[in-house]
Structure 1
Amino acid sequence: MKNVICIIGQISSGKSYLASEISKKLDIPIVSFGKYLVNYSRENNLSTERADLQDLGEKFIKQDAEKFLQNVIQYSAPVEDKIIIEGVRHLSIQNAIVNSFNSHYFIFCDTPDAIRYERFIFRNKESDSIKTMESFDNANAHKVEQEIPLLKDRCNFHLTVTDESRSQLYKELSHL
């Protein structure tokens, strides 16, 4: 099947920004779990608040993680040799990716909590209508976020907020 670059990280760690940056640099389409869930919710007259999207994603994971992955890919990306998947949060999805793709490269966005909180407060995202430390903490504590630390050790690259880290990542991606 396809070759895939997967971006993993906690809320406001820079996943979407990194996916966009890589997409522009390497001309690869982006597949986003979050965008799929927002679209699904809108089409089915469901709430697009973060907690509701997290609950919906968790429901799809429990029902059939591989089918959820395929639905997200079909919604988001044309048939391409390479894709970027942004927002992987579960071991079951990571395993489905490993089993479904010829080549996979996992990037973990390792961003300090203080920077993530600042990004959360200042970004304009429909799913985050309430922007407080409590809402940030609640979003981080949601069940759907709990497997993210387990994925970190299974990633090929850990991206920190330094420019040197980003330069090294692009060198590695140029060989894929």
Structure 2
Amino acid sequence: MKTAIVICGQIGSGKSTVSNCVASRMSNKVVSFGKYIRQMAHLSDRPDSRKSLQDLGDGLYRQIGAVGLLEGALDVAAVNDEDSVVFDGVRHEEVLEEIRRRAGQTIAIYLTVGQEERFRRHRSRSSGDMTLEKFQAIDSHAVETGIVDLANHCDVIVDASQPLPSVLKDLLAEILLGQ
């Protein structure tokens, strides 16, 4: 990889939205760990519920490690050595470090948003029965709990509770400064 832009954050922080917007504006490919996990769930006839995907992702990480998880996601996205990419949904420090090792240049960005706003966002795209208690349960799954610590390993922290155009403006400015 030439350049890697890594977008990290908790559930409902805007990772996928921001990743897709940044990739579109910079003509980069998106490497989505969520897409890779969903594909693995489909291949093994697992349900695609949030908990099932979290359990599968956690199990895969334990089984194949950071390198295997990264290679699987790169394969699904059909990335080659000459591509610049935006990574959506990195959840482990070891995966971030492996990306840094492989890419010519890496900028890691952590999106921060308060729990109330993250719940509101998640509820708006979930089935009608999402409660705060259910959100807190999925937010406290083992695969999610270490994400907050990733902020300490990122180059930039962005307040993603702002409107999307403001977030993108701040983010793109930071990316351009880092290049």
Query: Residue type of the partner of 1:121?
Result: R
What are the equivalent positions in structure 2 for 1:53-132 lying under 5 Å apart? 53-63=53-63, 64-79=65-80, 80-124=82-126, 130-132=129-131
The CA deviation string for residues 72-127 of structure 1, in whole angstroms up to 9 with x for no partner, is 11102432420011001111111211222221110101011111000011115xxx
Give the whole-Å Cα distance in 1 for the aligned partners of 2:9 and 2:129: 21
Query: For residue 153 of structure 1, what is the aligned residue in structure 2?
Result: 152
Matched residue type, 2:119 = Y
Shift of residue 164, structure 1, vs aligned partner: 4.9
Name the SS for the 1:174 alignment partner: helix
1:170 is aligned, of 165, 172, 175, to: 172
Partner of 1:30: helix, strand, or coil? strand
Q: Is the 8 A contact 2:30 2:88 kept in 1?
A: yes
CA contact (8 A) 1:106 1:156 kept: yes
Q: Which residue of 2 aligns with 1:21?
A: 21
Unaligned runs of 5+ in 1: none
Amino acid corresponding to residue 66 of structure 2 in structure 1: A
User: Which contiguous aligned blocks of 4+ residues in structure 1 show a shift greater than 4 angstroms?
Assistant: none
Q: 2:43, 2:158 → 1: CA distance?
A: 35
Alpha-carbon separation, structure 2, partners of 1:38 and 1:55: 12
Q: Which moved more, 1:129-138 or 1:112-121?
A: 129-138
Determine the C-alpha separation between the residues in 2 that align with 1:165 and 1:50.
Answer: 26
Question: Distance between the aligned counterparts of 2:12 and 2:174, measured in 1?
Answer: 24
Q: CA deviation at 1:171?
A: 1.7
Gaps of 5+ in 2: none
Aligned residue in 1 for 2:34: 34
* Distance in 1, Cα, partners of 2:49 & 2:128: 7
Aligned length in residues: 173
**How high is the TM-score relative to the length of structure 1?**
0.90
Q: Is the 8 A contact 2:158 2:170 kept in 1?
A: no
Q: Contact between 1:33 and 1:86, CA under 8 Å: does it hold in 2?
A: yes
Closer, same or farther: CA 129–74 of 1 in aligned 2, 3 Å = farther
- Report the TM-score when normalising by structure 2: 0.89
Match of 1:56, as an amino acid? L
> Structure 2: how far apart are the matches of 1:105 and 1:49?
31
* Percent sequence identity over aligned pairs: 28
Classify 1:144/1:130 alpha carbon distance in 2 versus 1 (closer, same or farther; 3 Å): farther
